[in-house]
């Protein structure tokens, strides 16, 4: 993270490492956090925490309940929890701002805990903080993008391109002529065999 207070001549020397994360702390639910438990699978650089205070940021923490997350990322998530959702799927799991609420005392809790923090009130939110091993999908039956949100978006964009560029060939025309239906198609690219990465849905 860039620290504009530093006077180093080389701009690269003005960068401050934000931290490290090697897990999602799945045991750190809201009840555990409010009982005093803290993250074990993240390290946030104290200098980065100081900078957060100096900036008078409206965000209460880097990531959810002290987990690591970047300055441009949503504080209700964390680096590893967000990237572990990277899969080939049209139905993406999302941890949205509506998932949490701000209490009267100014703290944030999962929406399920609005009537008080009890064991399991944040089960929906904690779904995002499971430790998912490399190469394993977020949900059974999905194809893992191995933490790569870029690969996930590439898959989505490619599938959209296929839908936008579908071409009717002689097989499709014949099928439509015989049946009056147009419910099968293949893309020109797939017919040419130019897409070794294509996987039918």
Q: Residue 84: which of 115, 41, 117 has the closest Cα?
A: 41
Distance, in Å, from the CA atom of 23 to the CA atom of 42, rounded to the nearest integer, reads 7
Do 32 and 119 contact (CB within 8 A), yes or no? no
Do 77 and 128 contact (CB within 8 A), yes or no? yes
Distance, in Å, from the CA atom of 173 to the CA atom of 9, rounded to the nearest integer, reads 67
pLDDT tens for each residue of 144-192? 999 998 998 888 888 888 888 776 666 667 777 777 765 544 444 444 4
CA end-to-end distance (rounded Å), the chain: 40
The upper half-sphere exposure of residue 114, i.e. CA atoms within 13 Å in the direction of its Cβ, equals 7
Q: Residue 143: which of 91, 93, 88, 90 has the closest Cα?
A: 88
pLDDT, residue 182, reads 55
Q: What is the DSSP letter of 16?
A: -
pLDDT, residue 97, reads 54
Mean pLDDT, to the nearest integer, of 34-48? 93
Q: In this structure, what token pair is assigned to residue 115?
A: 């009537």
Task: List the domain boundaries for the chain.
Answer: 11-146, 152-191
pLDDT tens for each residue of 121-135? 888 888 889 999 999
The position carrying tokens 């294509």 is: 198
Which percentage of the chain shows pLDDT scores above 90? 30
Mean pLDDT, to the nearest integer, of 30-53? 91
Mean pLDDT, to the nearest integer, of 12-22? 93
Instruction: Write down how long the chain is.
Output: 201
Mean pLDDT, to the nearest integer, of 102-130? 79
pLDDT tens for each residue of 56-69? 777 778 888 999 99
């Amino acid at each position: 993270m860039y620290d504009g207070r530093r006077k180093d001549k080389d701009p690269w020397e003005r960068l401050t490492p934000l931290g490290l994360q090697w897990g999602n702390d799945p045991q750190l639910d809201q009840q555990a956090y409010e009982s005093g438990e803290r993250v074990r699978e993240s390290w946030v650089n104290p200098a980065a925490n100081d900078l957060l205070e100096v900036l008078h940021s409206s965000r209460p923490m880097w990531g959810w309940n002290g987990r690591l997350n970047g300055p441009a990322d949503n504080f209700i998530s964390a680096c590893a929890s967000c990237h572990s959702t990277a899969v080939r799927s049209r139905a993406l799991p999302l941890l949205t701002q509506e998932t949490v609420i701000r209490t009267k005392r100014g703290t944030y809790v999962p929406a399920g805990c609005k009537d008080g923090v009890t064991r399991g009130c944040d089960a929906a939110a904690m779904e995002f903080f499971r430790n998912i091993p490399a190469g394993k999908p977020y949900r059974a039956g999905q194809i893992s993008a191995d933490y790569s949100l870029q690969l996930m978006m590439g898959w989505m964009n490619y599938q959209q391109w296929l839908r936008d560029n579908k071409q009717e060939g002689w097989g499709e025309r014949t099928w439509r002529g015989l049946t009056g239906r147009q419910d099968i198609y293949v893309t020109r690219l797939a017919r040419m065999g130019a897409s070794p990465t294509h996987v039918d849905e």
